[in-house]
A and B are shown apart, each in its own frame.
Chain A
Amino acid sequence: MTVILDPTDEAVPVSRQITPRSGQVSGVVGLMDIRKPRGDVLLDELERLMGERMPDIEIRRYAKPTFTKPCPDDLRAQMKAECDFVIEGLAD
């Protein structure tokens, strides 16, 4: 038998419950621009369509400082505090 040492960070991901789905969209919906080129064009269109189809919801826009770096903690906390839903693109 050979013993080797674990080269990884040994982190065990926390298993999280997915938020229950109510079947409808209400309250505040955040649209997060990760700052990839033309991401704003897509989100503008999404905001327009959602405004037409779901006039009762409030849409708020957010943007990361740069697509190259992880979302700052403060911005994540702000979205969590202000939004019921968030739509975010991951990449191009």
Chain B
Amino acid sequence: MTEVPGFELQDLDGASHAFPSVRPTLLCFVKEDCATCNLAVPLVQAMHSAFGESVNIWMISQTRDGGLILKDRHGLTLPILEDTTLKTSFVFYFDIVPAIYWCPDGASAATMFEGFVKSEWQDLNTDISAALELAPAQIDWDSLPDWRPGCGSKHLDPDIHDRLQAEADDSPIRARKIEVASADDVAEFMFDQGFSDGLPLVPPTPERVMRMLSGTRRDAQEVIAQMPPNMGEATIEKVAINAVMAGCKPEYLPVVIAAIEAVCTDEFNIHGVMATTMGASPVLVVNGPIRERIGMNSGLGALGSGNRANATIGRAVRLAIRNIGGAKPGGTDRSTLGNPMKITMCFAEWEERSPWAPLHVERGFKAEDSVVTAFAMTSGPVNIVDQESRAPDEIAGSLALGLEALFLPKYHMMPVDTLLVVCPEHIDTLLKDGEYEKSRLRDRIQEVTKRPLRDMVADDVSGAGMTRDAAAKLSAEQLDKQVPKFASSDYIHMVVAGSDAGKFSSAFHGWVTGAMGSQSVSRKIEDI
């Protein structure tokens, strides 16, 4: 005997029927549009006629309308219970209808089967008649096929199943449920609530969030970060809700989680990144096998539009910071102008097109790890155009000159990160005469950008830079000292991305780099 769940369902006339029952009970779950159910329904009716005096013979229809049609179509007199919510079907958890449960003690099943195998139905008839010492139901077995496959139960329809799972007692969903009246437009409602970055959102229904949570093995209630500025608790569930709104697929969720863990470290300092009037935002670079698996773009248009993973992973992180952390423009996000990276900026490195170790390997991870790296950037991507250089040091020199634009060309010795995205054609030129290591490119950038300190002094053209008073205290020799763009070549980060055609690299420009501002952070992405 197998334990089966209890229930209380109404029949088509509104009368209530509870299970377990004091009487032996036969349950038959059916749906109207299933041909095999229509084959089985007359048999159940025949059993009701034969045994109905002593036994509950209950047909359970998965919709009310379907129950009414079956009743009419087959001239049924047995009680037809309706499971329109499908909650009873869900807890019984059969796959196929018709699904039969014969419970001689009115509580647990002695016989269970699904679909139509004639011998099983014959045995059922025999068993009930033997148990009750009554004549078996009169059925023309010869007119019936030996076997027919059933249909998938309605509760297993993807949308319905995920909703039922979200509503079940052991559901991982804990977030507050917001009921949006049918007269209200959900999209407009979400704008009104301030959930949006200005673009439409996918409504985070419980079933969508359930599907999103299937993208990770981590517990939905695990707190992955206290998210500034409000120090909101970022649970996996809350991250999943924001990932749904952003338009993510479930398989992107581990990247979003790792990125949020990265930006919520003290090193990355998302509070300052969001708050600064300078207008910083996370720029996310994804490395490793997950790029391919989830279809990220590292090639043509990698920094632009058109790829769902790139666009929605970055957006999910930003929406989470807005909704869980509470960083909103005009609130604690005080950016003077803002920038489009505050909506989304995430791309993959084209490791296979790069002559260098991928970014994550350079930062200490294994090549087979999937890793997301977050940089706090205030500008970008800023194009660096050179279609003429044909020698390695020439193109390296152009990349260097392009980087002088960081903050203000006049500023040098900058303790500020840059992320240089070198395009394939520029890589080809760099490699024309053989290897061209990253270290050599960094040195070249520092060499080419060297300017005398006197060029950095405030003057009539620009009042920025070293003050006139400070400069007056320096000797001519000191003012002639050559200083490069970056305080150290360690501030120059490089990846490869972009299409095979086009001599256009790009650079992102950082914010306050280091312990006083933000440091780039890498996090390994969960393997699924």
Contact = CB atoms under 8 A, between A and B. Distances in A.
Contacts of B209: 5
Given A2-B180, A4-B204, A68 B175 contact: no
Contacts of B325: 9
Contacts of A69: 266, 269, 271-272
B152 to A, nearest CB: 25
A91 B277 contact: yes
A7 B238 contact: yes
Interface stretch (B52-60, B224-232, B428-436): B224-232
Contacts, number: 95
A29 B251 CA distance: 55
A7 B517 contact: no
B455 interface: no
B516 A3 contact: no
A11 B230 contact: yes
Given A11-B230, A91-B334, A5 B324 contact: no
A66 B511 CA distance: 14
Contacts of B195: 7-8
B205 A68 contact: no
Contacts of A8: 195, 232, 238, 323-324, 326
Given A66-B517, A68-B518, A5 B177 contact: yes
Interface in B168-189: 173, 175-182, 186
Contact of B176 (A1, A2, A10, A66): A10
B206 interface: yes
A45 interface: no
A90 to B, nearest CB: 10
6 contacts: A2-B180, A3-B178, A4-B178, A4-B204, A8-B324, A9-B227
B205 A2 contact: yes
A9 B180 contact: no
Contacts of B233: 9
A6 interface: yes
Interface residues of A, number: 19
Interface string B218-243: 00000000011110111001100110
A23 B270 CA distance: 39
Interface in A1-28: 1-11
A84 B512 CA distance: 34
Interface in A52-89: 65-70
A7 B269 contact: no
Contacts of B173: 5
B180 A7 contact: no
Interface of B: 173, 175-182, 186, 190, 195, 203-206, 209, 227-230, 232-234, 237-238, 241-242, 245, 266, 269, 271-272, 275-277, 319, 323-326, 334, 512, 515-518
A1 B181 CA distance: 5
Contacts of A3: 177-180, 205-206
Contacts of B326: 8-9
A4 B324 contact: no
Given A5-B241, A6-B176, 7 more contacts: A2-B182, A2-B205, A4-B180, A5-B177, A5-B204, A8-B232, A11-B232
Contacts of B518: 68
B230 A70 contact: no
Contacts of A65: 516
Contact of A70 (B242, B271, B277, B515): B271
A2 B163 CA distance: 12
Closest 3 CB pairs of A and B: A9-B232, A68-B272, A6-B176
Contacts of B245: 7
Nearest to B234: A9
A66 B176 CA distance: 37
Contacts of B269: 68-69
A69 B326 CA distance: 16
A7 B186 contact: no
Contacts of A68: 269, 271-272, 275-276, 512, 516-518
A4 B229 contact: no
Choose among A1, A5, A11, A91 the residue with the greatest number of B CB atoms under 10 Å from its CB.
A5
Contacts of B232: 8-9, 11
B334 A5 contact: no
A67 B173 CA distance: 38
Contacts of B237: 5
A7 B276 contact: no
Nearest to B190: A4
A9 B178 contact: no
A3 B186 CA distance: 9
Contacts of B517: 66, 68
A39 B3 CA distance: 73
A68 B514 CA distance: 11
Contacts of B234: 9
